[in-house]
Copies of this chain bind each other. A is one copy, B any other.
Amino acid sequence: MPRAVADSGENLDADNIAQCNMDRGAHQQQHGYKVGSPPNKGILTEFASAVKETLFADEPMRRYKDQPRSKKLWLALQHVFPVFDWGRQYTLAKFKGDLIAGLTLASLVIPQDIGYAKLANLPPEIGLHSSFVPPLIYALMGTSRELAMGPVAAISLLLGTLLQEEIDPKKNPLDYKRLAFTATFFAGVTQAALGFCRLGFIIEFFSHAAIVGWMAGAAITIALQQLKGFLGIAKFTKNTDIVSVMKSWNWQTILIGASFLTFLLVAKYIGKKNKKFFWVPAIAPLISVVISTLFVYITRADKHGVAIVKNLKKGINPPSASLIFFTGPYLLKGFKIGVVAGMISLSEAIAVARTFAGLNDYQIDGNKEMLALGTMNVVGSMTSCYIATGGFARSAVNCMAGCKTPVSNIVMSTVVLLALQWITPLFKYTPNATISSIIISAVLNLIDYESAYLIWKVDKLDFMACLGAFLGVIFSSVEYGLLIAVAMSLIKVLLHVTRPRTALLGNLPRTIIYRNIEQYPEATKVSRMLIVRVDSSIYFTNSNYVKERILRWLRDEEEHQKEQKSPKIEFLVVDLSPVNDIDTSGIHAFKELFGTLEKRKIQLIFANPGVVVIQKLRLAKFTEHIGEEKICLTVADAVKKFAPQSTENV
């Protein structure tokens, strides 16, 4: 034993001796553990737990456990209106942070909203309306501190594209507006329904990669559209004809647009360079608006063909419930558009909220968020707002400006309210070129090339989805790109479950550890034994592949052995550690495998089946079929039990 001690480089205390002895025990089937299979829970418990994991993974009810009735009610109220929760610890210090954040936000969003509304082919004041009511609702119901509510570029473009397929915004502006409200209403209903039915996980089927690609595509489409603003075309539309461009060519407009775009980009650069100057890019838009508006007002450049915002209705949101199509042919169309736009805006908001929650270490409640966003948009649709959601850019500004609670949203919407009441008339003279340059500099944030590069590096298939969505938007339309994004995501999942990985295992010399020989070149194969690991659940989509892949490993190995003149294979060990679940097709495939192997005088051995797998194998009587003794706790056990002399190479 001294040699061993020397090797191990430490004194053998009793503990270690026992340890060592027991380890060998483990190695030689003397630990006496059998593969555990707890009694089958029975369908109801099983079903209940499945439902719980799927819909109530976050255990919403646990906080109500053993609480007095009144307390329960109070908790329920807090659950629906978190403001009652954080509101009680609200302090002046916090308000200071929220005030600054709110003011910064307002200066950023007021000019943006006017532009975004135009992306959706809606009158500019609708954009401002959407930054007044929704933030208030969200402040009462939301769980995220940083999320800043209002219209966002990509969704505005999507909504605009979908709506104008149904109604021409020029010919029939009223019906167009009504359809927009209808879509917003149903977007809200969809979001609230998903949250209420706790089906939030549905939006997780938009893969991150696909969304990155889609956003970038939307951003570029928007930017190209806006460039037309420079050429003085008042209307934001996709179809441009060279004649109208030439006609409306106007050097003052180009000058204004170019100069302010430069100004905004420089501001953005400063903000990036030094984080404590984050407010520079934040207020730059407002500054550009003020300056350019004054400039036009003084020089009356609009008389010289500089396109300006012109009509911008003042006053707060008029009620619009009566405008929603609850009957007629547009009901269904509005519904469809709403569902799509609702889901996308939802997934964006949740993603953004999650990011910031992660940064500041708190959890957001996905389903509660959906309820909040849904209510927000439903109320919005009845107060002349179109779909609002939590955009990344403005939330980032909100966060950097030091917001502490959703109060910053309230501050912002108050400022927007004042703007609507008194300032808006002044925007009359704001040149479209300025709005365009503001939008362009805003949407550039949506092009997340860093993520794209990371995706490319890490997962090529993911990148395909990203690229597909991107090209889809660029060369076809936002909706088509979206379709590609979703399709790609699903195909990825399905491909993954159709062709799982399998690996050949070898023993790490001088240990009882068995590892993938591709990953661990030092791992040595066990003679007369082939150890295969299946790296996925086995069910109908892949059961036949798995069976045939295992047989291929066997065939290749046998050929290899013929060359080597090494003893033929007598045992096939299938390591089931990574196999989490198996269905009837999977068991069927194993039965076929067993039959084939039997004919070839090769014994089939299973190592370390999980709880579900062993239960199902038992239920299907497969364990009796191959023999209980063929089911081992670990690969090491299997080796020790069936090919002991193979320890020669250990």
Binding site for B on A (CB under 8 A): 1, 3-5, 7-9, 12, 15-28, 30-31, 33, 36-38, 43, 46-47, 50, 53-54, 57-59, 201, 204-209, 354, 358-359, 361, 363, 366, 451, 454-455, 457-462, 489-490, 492-501, 503, 508, 510-513, 515-516, 518-522, 535-537, 539-542, 544-545, 548-549, 551-552, 577-581, 583-585, 587-588, 591-592, 595-596, 599, 610-612, 614, 616, 619-620, 633-634, 647, 650
Contact = CB atoms under 8 A, between A and B. Distances in A.
B584 A209 contact: yes
Interface hub of A454, A459, A497, A541 (most chain B Cβ within 10 A): A459
Contact of A24 (B23, B47, B508, B520): B23
A364 to B, nearest CB: 10
A493 B499 contact: no
Given A23-B27, A457-B620, 4 more contacts: A8-B21, A23-B512, A503-B610, A578-B580
Nearest to A579: B578
Contacts of A650: 19, 22
B201 A59 contact: no
A11 to B, nearest CB: 12
Count of identical protomers in the assembly: 2
Contact of A23 (B20, B209, B457, B498): B20
A585 B203 CA distance: 14
Contacts of A634: 513
Given A17-B4, A26-B513, A494 B493 contact: yes
A7 B8 CA distance: 21
A511 B458 contact: no
Contacts of A460: 43, 46-47
Given A462-B584, A633-B513, A363 B204 contact: no
A552 B59 contact: yes
A335 B585 CA distance: 31
B57 A30 contact: no
A1 to B, nearest CB: 6
Contacts of A43: 460
A8 B23 contact: no
A455 to B, nearest CB: 5
B16 A24 contact: yes
Contacts of A206: 540
B512 A26 contact: yes
A542 B204 contact: yes
